[in-house]
Amino acid sequence: MSITVHTWPTPEEVGVAAADTIADLIEENPHAVIGLATGSTPIETYRLLAERHRHGLSFSQITTFNLDEYVGLSPEHPKSYHCYMDDHLFSQIDVDRSRTHIPKGDVEDVNLEGERFERKITNAEGVDIWLLGIGPNGHIAFNEPGCARDSRTRVVQLANETITANSRFFDSPDEVPRFAITAGIDTIMAADRILLLACGSNKAKAVAEAVTGPTSPDCPASFLQEHLDCTFLLDDSAASLLEP
């Protein structure tokens, strides 16, 4: 088992490759179950998928699951991942909103919310492909360094590096929530396929550790080496520390 790596000169080309992969899956299986990520990296992919919809690709029968949400933010909060997905994808395609699933961060019992989310994935008979990003510290979803390989959807405390990195989406670092509910490593690894996108030199060290380093909780993305069908789509900057 190993991670397949494809590289392109620009982030835009990474977005095209990711959109092509997801669009091909939907054309082959209109009822596909697709795991989605947030952050800046997949925005181009979502823009291109919305464009594919305007040219005839239907999303009406797919089911989606998102990786995570901030604890304490309502779905209506402008910085929530519910709003992110609506802004960047859901409002622009014909997806059935009852088939879109994002963990809720404002429920009374977030631990029960994690269990509910896991049941929904089981009821959907699993995820066909999960789209991921990677943090500079090697996190995937909000599984920070030190997380367990057998983790499932749960509440986690965000690392200082993650808070700093995500502060660009808020007015100040003080506004970034300190906790999130996230799909676990084991939740992600249960998908049939995994597609990780990374762009920029600030991701190069984490990418190299994930692809060529030992599998270790110190770099949660390194556990992806154990998956049977995991592909990294990288721009040249993110791939710069990999051996040619």
Catalytic annotation, residues: 68, 137, 139, 144
* Residues 6+ away with beta carbon under 8 Å from 123: none
Both structure tokens of 193:
């396929």
How do 4-8 and 63-66 pair as beta strands? unpaired
C-beta separation of 84 from 43 below 8 A: no
SS3 53: helix
Q: What are phi and psi of 66, to 5 degrees?
A: -100, 150
Q: Report angle CA 111, 113, 115 to the nearest 5 degrees.
A: 80
Residue 238: other Cβ atoms inside 10 A: 27
